[in-house]
A and B are shown apart, each in its own frame.
Chain A
Amino acid sequence: AQKITQTQPGMFVQEKEAVTLDCTYDTSDQSYGLFWYKQPSSGEMIFLIYQGSYDEQNATEGRYSLNFQKARKSANLVISASQLGDSAMYFCAMRKNTGNQFYFGTGTSLTVIP
């Protein structure tokens, strides 16, 4: 069974600072994708960034980067230059390339302090 672990239920960061949200995963598959989603208080899930298991470079999308360490099975999200609008729940997810299910972690609540 696939499992996603997010050990930080809540995080605080000062505006303009960087923050790292942790994610570890457990799978026996060799081919999979890792995702991060943002869920503001409005409830809609917003895709942020994707990392393929065979990608050698860490994924980056604007202020978001994914610190992928395959041997440690970790896929941490780094948000640089935090903004007040970054305050939200953040979910790590995994999808096996042989299937269609997405497996989500329990999320981390990020609060950006002015």
Chain B
Amino acid sequence: DTGVSQDPRHKITKRGQNVTFRCDPISEHNRLYWYRQTLGQGPEFLTYFQNEAQLEKSRLLSDRFSAERPKGSFSTLEIQRTEQGDSAMYLCASSFSQSVYEQYFGPGTRLTVT
């Protein structure tokens, strides 16, 4: 197993376009998290899945953001009608529910909205 993977690694899009990112967690991990990180800041929680169920969603997440995790495996994060303020690194992390400790992070997808 090579860890958490994310695709694409970089995405440049024009304002108003929709974008979709994919995250493949470590295979035995049933918990999956999405974060957004802007320059000079720590990761900001967006949403959390346990298996296929989306159990928590940040109040800061606008309706333009939606995430899915069909079948409890990979997850997608979609941003509709992108805005320049959406430019950030989007990080995915996974963990095993029996572990209270760490999350394992992917390399992130860097989004630039022009």
Contact = CB atoms under 8 A, between A and B. Distances in A.
Interface of A: 4, 33, 35, 37, 42-47, 50, 52, 91, 93, 97, 99-107
Taking residues whose C-beta sits less than 8 angstroms from the other chain, chain B's interface range is 20 to 34
A108 B70 CA distance: 37
Contacts of A99: 56
Interface of B: 31, 33, 35, 40-45, 48, 50, 55-56, 58, 89, 91, 93, 100-108, 110
A91 B101 contact: no
A43 B101 contact: no
A91 B55 CA distance: 25
Contact of B42 (A47, A52, A106): A106
A41 to B, nearest CB: 12
A93 B42 contact: yes
Given A4-B42, A101-B56, A106-B41, A45 B48 contact: no
B103 A101 contact: no
Contacts of A106: 40-42
Given A33-B100, A43-B110, A50-B102, 9 more contacts: A4-B42, A35-B102, A43-B89, A43-B108, A44-B106, A45-B105, A46-B105, A101-B48, A103-B45
Nearest to A52: B100
B103 A102 contact: yes
Contacts of B102: 35, 47, 50
Contacts of A52: 100
A30 B93 CA distance: 25
A102 B32 CA distance: 12
Contacts of B89: 43
Given A33-B101, A45-B91, A45-B93, A104 B108 contact: no
